[in-house]
Chain A
Amino acid sequence: MKRLSILMLLIGLVSLSCASVYSLDFYSTVAGMRAAAAGRSGTAIYEGHNLFVMIWPHRGQYAFAVINQQGDVVDDLLRMVNANGVNVYRMSDLIRWMESNGFKQVDPKSLPVSITSVLLSQVMAAVANGSRALITPLILPAGALEYNPYPYVEVQQ
């Protein structure tokens, strides 16, 4: 059973590295959204119905994130992309659908400050780079660094 677990772990790791099985994780979503918020080339932001749709290139495909909830519109959008009876298979189809449903492309500067400040903050940069150094607080009592446990003792010769 233990060998089987290790084998499955290996299969899981290999499948994570293959784009065909699992191509979008939370970590790459954070990095892509940061790129879109910074206005990098190849990214786009659409606004409509109080929603923001961020689009960025990801491993030969296009990834997107929908920010802010507005009930039915999000459901419609997801139904379109899941292609449950609707013919959206490519990003161009999705953009055409969004533009015909009241979405329009906007400048990254028009994003709300609350979203931009979170996405482009230092902590977010640490997460996007895979570091937890800036998130781990280090609390020391006042004067702890001045305390010397081995005070200098003068040796008499």
Chain B
Amino acid sequence: MNRSFYAVFSMPLWFLIAVWILLSRKNVIDDADIAMRIMLMDDIYKALPVPQSKFEQLLIEKIIEWINREKEAARILNSIGISAIGYCRR
């Protein structure tokens, strides 16, 4: 029962990462996009597999560290009142 609920209400990891790569191609993101990215990071965090080897453990630890760091930075950006971030060519 739990497994079927998981299958219905969550996305597989490869799909989430593909969405992440596609969404991150925008050169300007506003506050709605920031919220979307945080949600996507949460979903990726929940979809991470249990590591079976040393290499996978190292990889997943790095990803968890990165997600925690990004979420903390996003929280601070929110508290300042950021409306948008982006980049341009020189």
Q: A residues bordering B, Cβ < 8 Å?
A: 1-2, 4-13, 15-16, 21-27, 29-30, 33, 51, 58, 60-69, 74, 77-78, 81-82, 88-94, 115, 118-119, 124, 127, 130, 132, 135
Per-residue CB proximity of B56-82 to A under 8 Å, as 1/0? 100110110010111011101101111
With a CB–CB cut-off of 8 A, which chain A residues contact B25?
Answer: 21-22
Contact status B59-A6, CB under 8 Å = yes
Contact status A67-B81, CB under 8 Å = yes
With a CB–CB cut-off of 8 A, which chain B residues contact A5?
Answer: 12-14, 49
Contact status B80-A1, CB under 8 Å = no
B-side interface mostly: helix
A-side interface mostly: helix
- 9 A-B pairs besides A9-B17, A65-B85 with CB distance below 8 A are A5-B14, A6-B59, A10-B59, A24-B87, A26-B74, A51-B83, A66-B84, A127-B73, A132-B68
Kindly list the 8 A-B residue pairs having the minimum CB-CB distance in the complex, ordered from nearest: A26-B73, A8-B14, A22-B24, A5-B13, A63-B87, A91-B88, A12-B17, A8-B17
Let me know if B30 is at the binding interface, CB within 8 A: yes
Q: Once the chains are docked, how many angstroms separate the CA of A90 from the CA of B27?
A: 12
Contact status A13-B69, CB under 8 Å = no
Contact status A135-B24, CB under 8 Å = no
> How many residues does chain B have at the interface if contact means C-beta atoms less than 8 Å apart?
42
Let me know if B18 is at the binding interface, CB within 8 A: yes
Contacting residue for A68 out of B12, B30, B83, CB 8 A: B83
Nearest-CB residue, chain B, relative to A130? B69
Q: Least Cβ distance of A107 to chain B in Å?
A: 19
Q: Once the chains are docked, how many angstroms separate the CA of A2 from the CA of B56?
A: 11
Contact status A115-B70, CB under 8 Å = no
Contact status A118-B80, CB under 8 Å = yes
Q: Once the chains are docked, how many angstroms separate the CA of A58 from the CA of B27?
A: 13
With A88-B88, A135-B72 already in contact, the answer to whether A67 and B28 are too (CB < 8 A) is no
Q: Least Cβ distance of B88 to chain A in Å?
A: 4
